[in-house]
Amino acid sequence: METQTVQNKRPGGRSAAVLNSVKVAVEELVQERGRERVTIPMVAERAGVNPTSVYRRWGDLQTMINDIATYRLDPSRPIPETGSLKSDLTAWAREIVEHYRNPTNAALLRGGAASAGETESDCTRNRRAEAGMMVQRYGTASPITPDEVLDHLVAPIIYRVIFLPWTLDETTADSLVDVLFANR
């Protein structure tokens, strides 16, 4: 699942309009029908665009969806920096939970899960890098390792997003962090 944004030598005007309406169409359809039941002709029709344009720009559905999904949860967004590891992780986890409480983002994650596994996805790699960054800030004496963050903070969130989305609420992030820091 490699996700390099499909670049365009004429990014403005009509191309931008096509990109935008396709993006909206994909998000709507993935949310309405689930990643499995979305096809390129379907997206093209909803977007008011010719299917050929989609095929020529992205090649196939997976590439297109990965490309579109990249626009969300920007990898270059600022990582919380609040003064303590615990509050950084809380803020960060809340962001992730809020992101995936959006059904479109959840559906895109599920779609990505299906094709994950052989190679580390951008999504996973980014989460790991961000976790490492926060932990390192507070030195090697940190009570928490990046792997623990993945296992006990990211994993429960992602598991719930995929399999138990209705259990995600605004308290999820905080209580997971509490458990992570209990007795340390």
Cβ atoms of residues 107 and 27 within 8 Å: no
DSSP, collapsed to helix, strand or coil, labels residue 80 as: coil
60 binds DNA (CB under 7 A): yes
* Alpha helices (H) along 115-166: 122-137, 146-149, 155-163
Q: If 0-12 CB within 10 Å is exposed, 13-18 middle and 19+ buried, where does residue 53 land? A: middle
With CB under 5 to 8 Å by kind, the binding choice for 57 among DNA, its own copies, none is DNA
Name the residue nearer to DNA (CB basis): 68 or 93.
Answer: 68
12 binds its own copies (CB under 8 A): no
- Shortest gap between Cβ of 78 and its own copies (angstroms)? 24
- Of 3, 24, 31, 55, the residue at the interface with DNA (CB under 7 A) is 55
Burial class (CB in 10 A: 0-12, 13-18, 19+), 62: middle
State yes or no: residue 57 binds DNA (CB under 7 A): yes
Site for its own copies in 100-159 (CB under 8 A): 106-107, 110-111, 113-118, 120-121, 123-124, 148, 150-152, 154-156, 158-159
Q: Which is nearer to its own copies, 71 or 159 (CB)?
A: 159
